[in-house]
Structure 1
Amino acid sequence: MSGAKLAKSTPEELNTLFSHSDFFIDLHHVDTIAEAFELRAKYTPKQVYMLFPSLNTYVPATFSEVFDGIEHCTAEWSIKLSPLIEQANATGVKPCVALLADSNPTYIVTCFALMRLNVIINLISTRASTAGMVHLLQETDSKAIIVGQAYEQHAARVREEVGEETVQLFSICEIHEIAGKHATKSYTPFCEPEPSTSVAFVIHSSGSTGLPHPIRLSNSYMINNANSGPKYGLDITSPGGVFMQVAPLFHVLGFLYAMGRAVLQNAPSAFPLTKTLLVSDNNLLLSLELAKAQALLAVPSTLDNLVKYLQQVPARWNVLSNMEYGICYGGASLGRATAEVLLAHGVPLRNMYGCTETGILGFGERTLSVDNYASVRFVKDLNIVLEPREDNVFELFVPRSHPNASEYVFTAGQDLYATKDFVRAIPGLKDYYELVGRSDDILVHVNGEKTSPLILEEIIERSPLIRKAALFGAGQLYTSLVVELDPSAKSVPIYDIVEEVEQSVSNANKVAPKHSRILKPLVHILPFDGPTIPCSHKGNISRKNANQMFASVVEAMYNRFATESKPHAPVTNGTNGTPDTNDIDFPLKHVQQRIQQMAAYLLQVEPDTLNDSKATFMDFGMDSIHIVQLTNAINKSMGVNITQSLIYEHPSINDLAQELAQIHEKGSSVPTVPLKVDAVK
């Protein structure tokens, strides 16, 4: 077989459909996204599917070109996975294959190839821990892992944990390696009677409540949600307009827009010009400019950083203000201060609300008003249920009949799915609401990631010197901690208390998701004669009271951390106030070794494990928190004046060392103090 059922519509109907520039393909035309791509290759072969990053520019890829690559890739994976598919066809159980790789063109082509083979794609985050990935493979009964080169060692460890006889391991097939390899491009997919409603994809939660939770999604879910814009009269871009997305493909937003909206509508997408998940502010602006993007999709933390950067480089504001359709944001609430700056520079904002389980539930209007930028209006025909609570606040439930929700989040006999979100009706704006919180204790960070405080607090409270620990971080990028000491600690020297608290935090960080880790500067130990952490009669922390009581303490911690995270000014030894570096020993090899040592310390690994000269810091496992710490360490130990963007733009040890050496030779922001690894401590 060399193709799925092509369409549910006649050729005449499809010709009429594609004669309009604002068309969208829905479940009346196809059952699956793979079928939709084949339709686009047949009826709109020369239209651009996506702008693929290539060095420092973009290459437009048409549906015909990409589909040809998909067909070759499908034939290749049909051979590799044939025993698995044959067994599945014999048993009638749809097979599941995990995918762990960077978000790039090869990832996209691989996804569509697996779709055409009709296997369930288990999309694994590249940030997933070993325990988290083992859990996901076991929960989904994944029989194989397709892995990118950067994650092969990690996948091998996971396979060993699961059982090598249980899971096969395959390296991802690069597009150029299989081009022209299969002349016939024939393949045999898994056969099933209900392709639109059966499980087709698994996208997991971030693991905020412990281990990540697999969320099963169908083709109908993807098609309905990807078409939410045109179905409900929302113009995300003009027909054919480029949409820039800063979201990885294993995230539901990234997948919906790159694999769904870009196929189902005349709506090409583009990714930033970067090889990693972390993109510098300058790189993002350059990408928007080169792609001529009409709109940007981002989480609030990306916008916070972008605004801070543009305040230092105001001449670049025109890149955002020139985007006709502005910025769509989702995943978390956008802070008013950031919104005010964006709106003041003429950048329209549009809020999107939903979650992986329920799909897209509502949109805000595209606005330049600070009064309603955070508001959303729920789509009326989704039949969302708002249960009144207090003070014009409602708890939000989604009915089983809701077409955008995953069919698989409802248990037998369950008619309503509790989102655990509270919304408040906005006075003076009929049918508009704003998100005000959750019905549980989950901390929702500014980037949409979530932290479950209970597990981490319990670990910290295991210390005999600690009576109570309370985590904070809602609306912030990082998690902070307030510690109440046990009365018995009064007889313990202060240095021993600090050491015990740090060890307890370290114990909690060992089990915490990366985005939930607690940094040392964001820990506050309450004095013995000071306030105590408010608790209920059951011993549970009263979150609302704690947030009010420690608001100034927590705010001071974040402000201090933000100030200390800024680059240090160069130390001046010269008589004229300029850096004196004539006597500094600064060979390139020495700088490379020091950066390697600092990175190893932060990652808690041996320096020799970071010897790969071509690997990036992100390949080694660093995230945005590590980059902040590494930036501070370099500035402190070398007396330089660099920003996090420099590390993103020179993301390997060798590249960064060479850049620092060049800075030294030019005499700007040069090292004036001895290099020392202790700077990261």
Structure 2
Amino acid sequence: MPSATQSISDQSAIDYYKAFVNFIKIQSKLYADNVFVRYQVNKCFKTLTYSQVDHITTNLACEWAKQVEGSDVISYISDHSIDYLLTMIALMKLRFTLLAVSPRNSEAAIVNLLEKTNSKVFFTSPKYKAIAKSASVKIEGVSLIVVNPFDIEALLNQPLNDRQNEFIDTSFTEKDLDKPALIIHSSGSTNYPKPIYLTNRYVLNICGVFKLYKEQNPHLDLVKQSDVFLICVPLCHVFGFFCTFSVVYAGASVVFLEKLPPSQNEITYALKQNNCTLMAAPPLVFEQMVPYLKETNEFSAAQNLKFAIFAGASLKRETGDWLQKHNINIRNAYGTTEMSAGMFANLDPRCKNWYSLRPIWNDRSGQSYFIFEDTDEGYKHLYLRSDSPTLALNVSNREGGGYNSNDLFLEDSEYPGYFNYVGRRDDTLVMENGEKTNPVPMENAIRQSTIVKQVAVLGHARQCTAALIEIDMDYAMSYGPEEIISLVYEAVEDANKECPSHSTILPQMVKILPFNKTLPSTDKGTVIRKKAEAMYADLVEKMYKDFLEGPVYNSSSDSSSWSAKQTESFLVKSIADVLHMPEFAFNDHERSVFDLGLNSLTAIQLRNAIAKQFKNVPQNFLFQNSTISSMRQALLSDSQVGAAELAEMRYQQAQELAKSYLERANKDFSVAKNDYEAEKKEKVVLLTGATGSLGSFMLRDLLKDATVKKGLLFNPRIEVLPMRLTEQYLGLTKERYEQLKEKITIVQHCAWLLDFNMTIDHYDKECIAPFYNLLKFAYREVNPMHVHFISSVSASAALGSEIEEKPLPFDSHAAMPMGYAQSKFVCEILLGYLMKDKNFPCYIERVGQVSGDSESGVWNTSEQYPLLFVAGSLMRKMPKLSTVIDWIPVNYASSAIVDIMLRTVHFSANIESSVYHIVNPHHENWTDILNAMKSCGMKFDVVESVEWVDTLSKDDTNPAFRLMSFYEDSFKKDFKMPIWQTKKTCKLAPILAKSPVVDSKLFSKYLSHWQSVGFYKPSN
């Protein structure tokens, strides 16, 4: 028998039992006469003791032993029931690995699971005989065994099989600990379910979770012999398995209902009839419990629970707080099949923290196996150490071992050491402009409203987010249509308050589904977002199209006769409505509305409001007319400014802006003294834009270089600075500002707005002026910091057929006619001046088209070329282009730039060595890309670009449709990009010359990545 000193904490109990079935056998002898299971038959509850369960399952195992020979894995599909429990234990006693197949699976998913696990024996209840038979016949050599409902009384009367030692191996060694005992599969919400192998060590530990918690908190009354645990979670899920068998360590009992999910009446009846003291259920069950308790006022059974735990999804705060207030000790739990049940809220009933979670698994030195690491977005990512006893078999996905959960958390400020779940890394929606939105906290916030049953927040590769809302009819019956809409909008507005501006859900992008429609969810209550978007694809596309294309002009409007004052009043009111600000905030009609909070998303909303009253309002109207005065003038003007005239106006603006910065720089900077060789400071780098693709690779490469002492930006070599470049001291204290000004040796400015709609004056406020502040910070009279600036080839693209590695002439026409390119031109002119006239070492890295990582194949799916490739695959057409390809993989671009940064750190200012081109020195033709695509199995015809655009314009479901206008403009213009010389750059950074071209080998990596994230699906 296990001694009282054996524990989960030091793994001595695990070493003692060695295997799950041995654990069941030993505990069944120890608690032979204790009730193990209370099961419902025709509304009455019957019981089986530990010894009776052991007796029945031993006989069943002996009965099936001959039938299951020759298969390492046995599969089983059935509903959660007493029969399931008995079958599971019996099959596991035969020492085969049991695959628990969820009845929610499709036939194709079941076939896939059987194939992946090489399962040759498939047990099923009669209810699932048809689907089990249909699946098994599709795989050679699979035998099907139908298990009819048990006559438990008859099974109890059977004598114990006297050949049990012949059929059941009861000898165990330490080697059994790491053998697979059970397979629980993932939900398959995004793909086929994945089988996850659980060892005996894992299973014994998960059964001991409450024992472990008691060891850590000996004062708490948790699970003991007299306790009765109501389980409302199926055994085929790890949460259900954990709760069911957690009673075995203490000799307590579990309650099995006739069916899942249960009604609230059935739950109350079970709680009362069995005097339950513990309960586990999905959050949805507790959501439904609140209105039931309010209506019936039957609190006693629920209040008798020592604790009630939920897991798998979020519970509305309002629900949890209400249950706590009414003395029902609701508690949150967290786990995954790969990691086991690993975190719990404080189970002490005296503690009000029912929601936030703390890891419970520690090694013998007290260090947690569950590690939180910082992310770029400010969240904590959870991973499990490779040496954790709760790590499933062969699931490691981290370098050096361990398991990335991809789950994100924030530490609870009220309860330090406890964490709140906020969503998944792979839930992240990457917007069309590259901004990222985590939809899970937004969905959780919206679901706090009692009127909302389920919600899906969408927006991946779109210009804005949208929400599909499923109404909770139990509440909706008490409200009229207008009240329902109002309550939904209130819930959405609450979510908007907590999210970044680019994630805001506008009223036009909220769709309440018809009352007879539902959103697909997992059995844990989590919305299946991709499936929801696919189910309502037409509705979603129409919602986006209506919003982005804007309303039809209201011909009944008489705005043509409006005066200047009336027009300005209309504009002020419209802007105030869109930005939720008072009208007096817009008294300055010469100020850009983008300075006052308008962004690319709300600009669409405002443009639509204007288009209702005025004819022929172009999509880019606000970007070209950003002040109230300029809007009024454009709307009342009899003639529109021509495109060529407008472009020339922007060129002149850029020229004047560059001139003004040179005049400022002449006053603000004196001529610096350079003596870097004598000083030879340690390399301390300030990197901006480190969360972007190129910036993150530069951060990685800087850390790989041992000569870099510190990167100012989580490990000891990195410091994160919350900088605001628009402020005098960059958002730092004056003291910290001066400390860093002395300490830093290299500045790499990678952060920049990428929005081709914005004009040069907007870029001035958002990017150029803040950069000027950074230059003032980097300047020192003696040995200024070496400043590096990520420019763009677009700043020099109109200069000629071949671009030299040297500073630009002072002519804004060198840049392409868009605000982004012109902003880079202004900065290049400024940096050239500082280098030449002020002895301030400033370096320019002109970056061309960056492709995906050549190692992993990761390439942002919202960019123009990935979208073009996938569009071509869907249409089976690719455009004929004359483009010369000098694309450079992001990892090579980063390596080259970091080389330049570190090799020039002790150089004095020299204008002749200040400009470098980060493009691929090895050029290809567009036909080479097309051949690479075909080599990878993509099928298409090559057509004229006009035909390609025309085909795309007729299919608004194509992912590239959202860039329609961009492709149309790009393909219309007969603009041939020049060649950028790289001789000087390759000499200083030889890695550039090793950059691979996009051939079939590299392109196949891109396709594999896109396929893995669901962006690309090979056509037959």
1:38-82 Cα deviation digits (max 9, x unpaired): 11232321112121222222222111111110111011011322x
Instruction: Name the stretch that deviates more: 419-428 or 225-234.
Output: 225-234
Q: Which amino acid aligns with 1:310?
A: L
Distance 1:98 1:311, change over 3 A: same
CA contact (8 A) 1:392 1:425 kept: no
* 2:51 counterpart of 1:64: yes
* 2:273 counterpart of 1:296: no
1:232 shift after superposition: 2.8
CA distance in 1, matches of 2:471, 2:320: 14
Q: Determine which of 241, 253, 269 is the counterpart of 1:286.
A: 269
TM-score by length of structure 2 reads 0.42
CA distance in 2, matches of 1:50, 1:304: 27
* 2:143 counterpart of 1:168: yes
Q: Give the equivalent residue in structure 1 for 2:114.
A: 137
Q: Give the equivalent residue in structure 1 for 2:340.
A: 359
CA contact (8 A) 2:27 2:251 kept: no
CA distance in 1, matches of 2:180, 2:40: 31
* 2:360 counterpart of 1:379: yes
Q: Give the equivalent residue in structure 2 for 1:435.
A: 421
Q: Determine which of 318, 321, 325 is the counterpart of 1:340.
A: 321
Q: Give the equivalent residue in structure 2 for 1:349.
A: 330
CA contact (8 A) 1:398 1:416 kept: yes
CA distance in 1, matches of 2:331, 2:471: 18
CA contact (8 A) 2:456 2:527 kept: no
Q: Give the equivalent residue in structure 2 for 1:44.
A: 31
1:254-301 Cα deviation digits (max 9, x unpaired): 11222x3132322211123x2x32211111111111111112111111
CA distance in 1, matches of 2:55, 2:330: 38
Q: Give the equivalent residue in structure 1 for 2:62.
A: 75
1:438 shift after superposition: 1.1
Q: Residue 57 of structure 2: SS of its match in structure 1? A: helix
CA contact (8 A) 1:343 1:368 kept: no
CA distance in 2, matches of 1:141, 1:206: 19
Q: Determine which of 547, 550, 553 is the counterpart of 1:530.
A: 547
1:407 shift after superposition: 3.3
Distance 1:372 1:473, change over 3 A: farther
* 2:303 counterpart of 1:321: yes
Distance 1:257 1:322, change over 3 A: closer
* 2:190 counterpart of 1:204: no
CA distance in 2, matches of 1:185, 1:522: 63
CA distance in 1, matches of 2:223, 2:250: 11
CA distance in 1, matches of 2:374, 2:471: 25
Q: Give the equivalent residue in structure 2 for 1:114.
A: 91
Aligned length: 472
Q: Which amino acid aligns with 2:42?
A: L
CA distance in 1, matches of 2:537, 2:275: 41
CA contact (8 A) 2:61 2:90 kept: yes
CA distance in 1, matches of 2:149, 2:12: 29
CA contact (8 A) 1:300 1:332 kept: yes
How does 1:623-638 map onto structure 2 within 5 Å? none
Where does structure 1 lack aligned partners over 5 or more consecutive residues? Answer: 1-10, 89-94, 478-500, 542-681
CA distance in 2, matches of 1:319, 1:523: 45
1:515 shift after superposition: 6.8
Q: Give the equivalent residue in structure 2 for 1:268.
A: 253
1:539-560 Cα deviation digits (max 9, x unpaired): 649xxxxxxxxxxxxxxxxxxx
Distance 1:452 1:213, change over 3 A: farther
Q: Residue 127 of structure 1: SS of its match in structure 2? A: coil
Q: Determine which of 200, 205, 223 is the counterpart of 1:219.
A: 200
1:412 shift after superposition: 9.2
CA distance in 2, matches of 1:367, 1:523: 47
CA contact (8 A) 2:455 2:467 kept: no
Q: Which amino acid aligns with 1:77?
A: W
CA distance in 2, matches of 1:196, 1:72: 25
Instruction: Name the stretch that deviates more: 424-433 or 386-395.
Output: 386-395
CA distance in 2, matches of 1:375, 1:417: 22
Q: Which amino acid aligns with 2:192?
A: L
Q: Which amino acid aligns with 2:298?
A: R
CA distance in 1, matches of 2:526, 2:321: 30
Q: Residue 137 of structure 2: SS of its match in structure 1? A: helix
Query: Is the radius of gyration larger for structure 1 or structure 2?
Result: 2
How does 1:329-478 map onto structure 2 within 5 Å? 329-366=310-347, 372-379=353-360, 381=362, 382-389=368-375, 393-410=379-396, 414-441=400-427
CA distance in 1, matches of 2:371, 2:295: 45
CA distance in 2, matches of 1:298, 1:25: 31
Q: Residue 162 of structure 1: SS of its match in structure 2? A: coil
* 2:178 counterpart of 1:188: no
Q: Which amino acid aligns with 1:214?
A: P
1:77-112 Cα deviation digits (max 9, x unpaired): 11322x42xxx6xxxxxx101000122222112111
1:239 shift after superposition: 3.6
1:358-391 Cα deviation digits (max 9, x unpaired): 0122111136689632111112613322112368
CA contact (8 A) 2:232 2:261 kept: no
* 2:239 counterpart of 1:253: yes
Q: Which amino acid aligns with 1:292?
A: N
1:178 shift after superposition: 5.5
CA distance in 1, matches of 2:227, 2:406: 36
Q: CA RMSD in A?
A: 4.3
Q: Give the equivalent residue in structure 2 for 1:652.
A: none
CA distance in 2, matches of 1:371, 1:67: 40
CA contact (8 A) 1:421 1:435 kept: yes
Q: Residue 53 of structure 1: SS of its match in structure 2? A: strand
CA distance in 2, matches of 1:111, 1:529: 54
Q: Aligned residues: percent identity?
A: 21
CA distance in 1, matches of 2:415, 2:398: 37
Distance 1:540 1:281, change over 3 A: farther
CA distance in 1, matches of 2:121, 2:142: 5
CA contact (8 A) 2:207 2:242 kept: yes
CA distance in 1, matches of 2:34, 2:538: 50
CA contact (8 A) 1:262 1:269 kept: yes
TM-score by length of structure 1 reads 0.61
Q: Give the equivalent residue in structure 1 for 2:293.
A: 310
Q: Give the equivalent residue in structure 1 for 2:19.
A: 32
CA contact (8 A) 1:396 1:421 kept: yes
How does 1:92-111 map onto structure 2 within 5 Å? 95-111=72-88
CA distance in 2, matches of 1:435, 1:391: 14
CA distance in 2, matches of 1:58, 1:107: 17
1:243 shift after superposition: 1.0
1:204 shift after superposition: 0.6
Point out which structure has higher relative CO (alpha carbons under 8 A, 6+ apart). Answer: 1
CA distance in 1, matches of 2:398, 2:526: 35
CA distance in 2, matches of 1:357, 1:266: 27
Q: Residue 407 of structure 1: SS of its match in structure 2? A: coil
CA contact (8 A) 1:349 1:367 kept: no
CA distance in 2, matches of 1:25, 1:296: 28
CA distance in 2, matches of 1:248, 1:340: 26
Q: Residue 80 of structure 1: SS of its match in structure 2? A: helix
Distance 1:162 1:113, change over 3 A: same
Where does structure 2 lack aligned partners over 5 or more consecutive residues? Answer: 363-367, 429-438, 448-453, 474-512, 550-599, 605-753, 756-859, 864-1020
CA contact (8 A) 1:295 1:327 kept: yes
Q: Give the equivalent residue in structure 2 for 1:544.
A: none
Q: Which amino acid aligns with 1:284?
A: I
